Amino acid sequence: RIASIQDWHKKASGKLKTANTGLRDAIKAERELQPEARNISQRLRASEAALSATRRSFRDFMLRAAAINDREAINKAALEEEALEATALRHLNEIELALSDRDALDDLLEGRRAAVGKAKTRRDILQDRFAAARKALSQTRTRLKESKEAYKRRERPITILLSKKASRLYVRQGYDPVLEADIKF
């Protein structure tokens, strides 16, 4: 009986160790994506800031262009307008690309977080099983020790003492108390 419980304890310990390793790996895989997430967020903020600056430049340009009357200045303004539009489109494309990257990374992070959750659940279940195995092993060892002691006690003589003064019955095996009870005479 104790051998089977020791075997159960050993298997539960091995499974728990494997589950802890799996959980650590899942957490590590999730954390590996954090630098990429920060990089994407930085790209997105930089592109949004650049687009905002380009919009301000375009607004300033429109205010200046309204006052232009000269043909040569109008041609220069048209080229400047095209450059500003190209810059704004480039920043919009960068924002869309960063948003697309962020969405893809969010999906990947969600999958890895789910893997961490599953690994934690598995680890918790195996921890409970390991605790049950450890408790069963401890109880079995205690019962085995008590059984060995009871077997050794078997060899000692049993003594029964009746006390009229205390109105009690005392039963001893060797010097160990076995039973004490109130009695009436």
What distance in Å separates the CA atoms of residue 21 and residue 56, rounded to the nearest whole number? 53
Express each pLDDT in 103-135 by its tens digit. 999 998 898 889 999 999 999 999 998 899 899
Residue 51 backbone phi and psi in degrees, to 5: -65, -40
Phi-psi region of 167 (alpha: psi -120 to 50; beta: other; left: phi over 0): left
User: 163 - beta bridge partners?
Assistant: 168
Burial call 57-81: b when 16+ CB within 10 Å, e when fewer: ebeeeeeebeeeeeeeeeeebeeee
* Helix runs in the chain, H state only: 2-32, 34-65, 71-153
Number of other CB atoms surrounding residue 151 within 10 Å: 9
Q: Is the pTM of this model over 0.85?
A: no
Q: Are 179 and 169 in contact (CB under 8 A)?
A: yes
- Asked if 176 and 162 count as a contact pair (C-beta separation under 8 A), the reply is no
Q: Tokens standing for 48?
A: 């949004």
Please report, rounded to a whole number, the percentage of residues in the chain having pLDDT higher than 70: 100
The whole-number pLDDT of residue 87 equals 92
pLDDT tens-place string over residues 86-99: 999 999 999 999 99
CA gyration radius, the chain: 41
Positive or negative, the Cα torsion across 43, 45, 46, 48? Answer: positive
Q: Which residues of the chain have pLDDT under 50?
A: none
